[in-house]
Amino acid sequence: MHQQDVINIVLAGIGGTGVILSSNIVAEAAFLAGYDVRKSEIHGMSQRGGSVSSDVRFGLKVYSPMVPDGEADFLVVMHPDEIENNLYRLKPVGVVIDTSLIIGESNDLSLLNEEKYLPVNQKNFNICLLGALSNYLDIPFDCWQKAIYSNLPKKVHEQNKGVFEYGMKLTEMVRAK
Amino acid sequence: MKKLMFGNEAIALSALHAGVTLGTGYPGTPSTEILEYFSEFGGKAQWCPNEKVALEVGIGVAFAGGNALVTMKHVGLNVASDPLFTVAYTGVEGALVIISADDPDMHSSQNEQDNRNYARSAGVMMLEPCDSQECYDFFWEAIRLSKEWKLPVILRPTTRVCHSMSIVEYDEKEYTPILPVKYNPDKPGRVMIPGYARPAHRRLREKLAKIKKWNETSNLNKEVIKSGKRGIITSGVSYLHVLEAEPGASVLKIGMCYPFPEEKVRNFVQKHEKCIVIEEGDPYLVENCRYYGIQVEEKPEMYRFGELNVNRVRRILRCDTSPEPPIKRGRPPRLCDGCPHRATFTLLGKMNCIVTGDIGCYTLSVLPPFQAMDSCVCMGASITVGLGLRHSLPPEEAKRVVSVIGDSTFIHSGIPGIVEMVYNPPATGHVVIVLDNNTTAMTGMQEHPGTGKKLSHEPTNQVVIEEVARAIGVENIVVTDRVSVLEKAIEEALVNNKTNLIVIRKTCALLRKKQQKSEVTQSVGEQSNAPTGCN
C-alpha cells in the first residue's frame, strides 16, 4: 500500500438498520489491523427514520474524515431504498454491497427472516454484508472478529461470527481472484 | 495507550485525566455525548435545566478552586452568554472550560452561527481542535491555560470533530478530581458593581494582551512550510480537508483563534507570494487579518454556507464559483411510528389552530403529513411568540393560537413564558400544550428535572410541570394521557378566554423500546453503557 492509498467506504441506510454499528466495526477492524483510520457520520435524527450514512477511511495516513463525493471504493447499503441516492458517492469502478447479495432484487427486508438464510436474519444482516465486504479488504479475519465482539453483547458473539462467515461466502470469488 | 475514539469521547477522557471536579451542561447536538462519556468513565456529571444554569454552576465550581467542564451546542452559548461576558471580567480561581460545539450546515440546529465571534466579543480564549487527538490535547491545554491565567477558556469543536472517530494516543493517568478545601474570598474581583467592574475590564484586556503575545509562539498553532508559492491559513477540521486537497501547500493552522496570533500570521504571509484563508463559516480569520493589516485572500461568499469538505476546498483553491451540484439529503426524518406526538398534531391540524412550536422532535410536525406548526425560533419561544400573536391578532384569529412545547424545553426556558402569560394575559387568554414524553428525546433520550432522574438515570427530586404552572397561577390545568380527553380540553381552552396549560403525558416510543430492551438485558446480567445520542 502506498502512502497516498486510502480505502474509502460509505455505509448507508435508514435509522435503525445498523449503519452506525457497522461502521464502528469496520473502523475498529481497520484500526486493529494497524491502519490509520478516520470515520465520520451525521447521526442527527437517524432514529427518526431519516437517511443515515457513515464514512470510513483507512490507509497509512488519512486526513479528512469525510469521503469526497465520487471517491468511495465501496458503498455498503443497509436498505435497498438508499442505493440510488448514494451512488454519487461511489467511484466509477466502485463496488456496491447490499442485500441483493442475500435476497436478490427485492425491497422487502422481511424476506431476510426466511429459514433458508439462517443464521442471517433481519436484525443481523448488516454483519453479513460486512462479511461480504471483508473479501475486498486487506484486514485479517481475527481483527474483524475482535471488532465484532467488542461492539456486540456477548450472547450474540458466536451467532454473528457465523453470520459474518456467511457473508464472506457470498463474495468468495473476489478473494479467489 | 492508542485508541480509536470520537471527538466527544476524547474530550471526556481528557476531562477525566485533567481532574475535572464537575461537568455540567444541557443536551444539544453535537455536544451531548461528552457528559455521557465523562459520567461513564467515572467523572461527576450532571444535566442542568439550561445552558445558563450549567455555566453558572461551572463558574461556582471554578470560583471555589475546582476544575469545571461546561458543555453545550453553539446556540446554547446564546443562552449562557449573559454569565459568559461577565465571568471573563471576574476570572476564576480554578479552571473553567466551556465546550461550544458548533454545527456548520445545521445538521441538527436552527442556525449555523459561528461562535468564534463570541470569543472575540466576550474576550475569552478559544481553541479549535481538528480531530480526536486534538480534542484530547486541546482540552488538556485549555484547563492548563485557564488555571494559569485564571480566565475561562472556550473549546470549539464542530459536528465533524465531535462525531468523527480518529486515533488518540495518550498516557494512562490516575483520575484525581480537584476538590477544593477552603473558600478564598475576592469581593472586588467577583462582585461586578460598576466600581469593581471597571478595573476588572482593564485587568481582562491586560491579560489578553499578554496571552496574545504568548500565542504568537505557542505550539497550538502549527506551521508547515513547503515550496509552493501560495500559503494556506486554516483552522479546525478544514485543516484536514486542506492537507488532502493540496498536499504540497504551505499551511498555517490556527489552533488558538482568540487572542489572534497576529505576528505569527504576518510572518507566514510574508514568506509567500500570496495567502488564502480556508475556514468554515464566517470570515473570522480573514477579518482578523484585515484588522491587523495583513493581506490575505478569502473564500468566495458561496462557501460561507454549510460545511467545507475536500471537494469544496479544491474548488475554493481554484477560484471556482460555478454552481455546486445540489447536496443530496436523502430521506428526511419523520415522527416515529408509535410516537405520541402524532395524535396531538393530527388533532391540531384538524382544529385549524395556529401553532407556535418549539425545539424538539415535534418540530418535525411542520413536515407532511401534519404540516401543523407555524413557527419555531429557539428554545422556549413557543409560549412567548404565541402570546405576542394573541396580543396583536384580531380576537377571532387570536383564539386559534396554541403554543406547543416539550417537557425538557418547558424546563429549559418555558417557565418564564408561563410567568409572562399569567402576568400579561392576552384578552383571549392562551393555550399552552406540553408534549410530555418523559425524556429529552431529540438528543438521544437524556434525563431532565421533569423525569426525576439524574444524568446517570439514578432517581432524584422531580420537578412536576403542572405543579409549577399551578404555583405560577395558570387558571386552567389539564393533565392526560388520552387523546379524547386532550381533544375536549383543547376545544374548551380555545373558547374560555383563560390561561390554559394542557399536559399530554405519554412516554416516547423509542424510550419505551429502550426500557423494554434494558429490562431484558438486565435480566440476563448484561448492560450496554454506550451513549445512544442521536441528535
A147-167: pLDDT as tens digits: 999 999 999 999 999 999 999
In whole angstroms, what is the distance from residue B113 CA to residue A60 CA? 35
- Number of domains comprising chain A: 1
Per-residue DSSP letter, B412: I
Quick check: B336 and A37 CB within 8 A? no
Sign of the CA dihedral running B381, B387, B392, B396: positive
Residue A51: pLDDT band by 50, 70, 90 thresholds?
Answer: confident
The model carries a pTM of 0.95
Is residue B9 one of the residues assigned to a domain?
yes
B332 lies in a domain?
Answer: no
B42 close to B442: Cβ distance less than 8 angstroms: no
- Please judge whether A53 and B524 are an interchain contact, meaning their C-beta atoms are less than 8 angstroms apart: no
Regarding whether B47 and B6 lie in a shared domain, the answer is: yes
Interval B326-334 mean pLDDT:
83
- Chain B residues touching residue A40 (CB < 8 angstroms): 160, 163-165
Q: B467 with B395, same domain?
A: yes
Chain A partners within 8 Å of B332 (Cβ):
50-51
Helices (H), B424-502: 465-472, 483-493
- Looking at the structure, tell me whether residues B495 and B370 fall in a common domain: yes
The grid cell for B178 is 480537584
Number of domains in chain B: 3
In a domain, B172, yes or no: yes
Above pLDDT 90, what percent of chain B?
90
Of B4, B164, B442, the CB nearest to A31: B4
Q: Exposure of B132 by Cβ count < 10 A (0-12 exposed, 13-18 middle, 19+ buried)? A: buried
CB distance B129 to B332 below 8 Å: no
- Evaluate whether residue A1 is within a structural domain: no
Examine residue A139 and state whether it is found in any structural domain, yes or no. Answer: yes
Tell me the C-alpha distance between B216 and B253, whole Å.
12
CATH number for A147: 3.40.920.10
Task: Inspect the interface and report whether the beta carbons of A69 and B311 lie closer than 8 Å.
Answer: yes
What does the pLDDT average to over B64-73? Answer: 98
- Whether residue B412 is predicted with pLDDT greater than 70 in this model: the reply is yes
Q: Are A21 and A151 in contact (CB under 8 A)?
A: yes
Range of the structural domain that residue A11 is part of: 6-99+107-171
For residue B122, the model assigns a pLDDT of 98
- CB contacts of B106 in chain A (<8 Å) are none
B65 belongs to a structural domain: yes
pLDDT of residue B514: 85
Q: What is the pLDDT of residue A175?
A: 67
Over residues A54-103, the pLDDT tens digits come to 999 999 999 999 999 999 999 999 999 899 989 999 999 999 999 999 99
Instruction: For residues B164 and B66, state if they share a domain.
Output: yes
Please write the tens of the pLDDT for every residue from B39-54. 999 999 999 999 999 9
* CA–CA gap between residue A77 and residue B44 (Å, rounded): 39
Q: Do residues B31 and B177 both lie within one domain?
A: yes
The answer to whether the CB of A50 falls within 8 A of the CB of A60 is no
In a domain, B521, yes or no: no
Q: Give the residue numbers spanning the domain of B230.
A: 222-317
Position of cell 433458508? A116
For residue B531, what pLDDT is reported?
43
Residue A177 CA, distance from chain mean position: 21
pLDDT over 50 at B526, yes or no: no
Q: Which among B164, B334, B535 is the nearest to A38, CB-wise?
A: B164
My answer on whether B294 and B363 are in the same domain is no
pLDDT of residue B329: 79
Partners of A49 on chain B (C-beta within 8 Å) are: 331, 333-334, 336
Task: Assess if residue A176 is contained within a domain.
Answer: no
Window 69-128 of B: residues touching A by CB (8 A cutoff) are 107-108
Q: Which of B216, B248, B281 is the last residue of a domain?
A: B216
Q: How many CA atoms lie within 13 A of B198 on its CB side?
A: 2
> Is residue B517 one of the residues assigned to a domain?
no
Q: Domain check: are B34 and B154 in the same one?
A: yes
Interval B443-492: pLDDT, tens? 999 999 999 999 999 999 999 999 999 999 999 999 999 999 999 999 99
Q: Is residue A42 part of a domain?
A: yes
Asked if the Cβ–Cβ distance from B165 to A40 is below 8 Å, we say: yes
Q: What pLDDT score does B520 carry?
A: 64
Sequence-ordered alpha helix ranges (H) in B238-309: 238-245, 262-270, 284-291
Q: What is the pLDDT of residue B12?
A: 98
In a domain, B276, yes or no: yes
Question: B535 to chain A: which residues are within 8 Å by CB?
Answer: 43-48
Are B34 and B170 in the same domain? Answer: yes
CA distance B190 to A100: 66
**Domain presence at residue A14:** yes
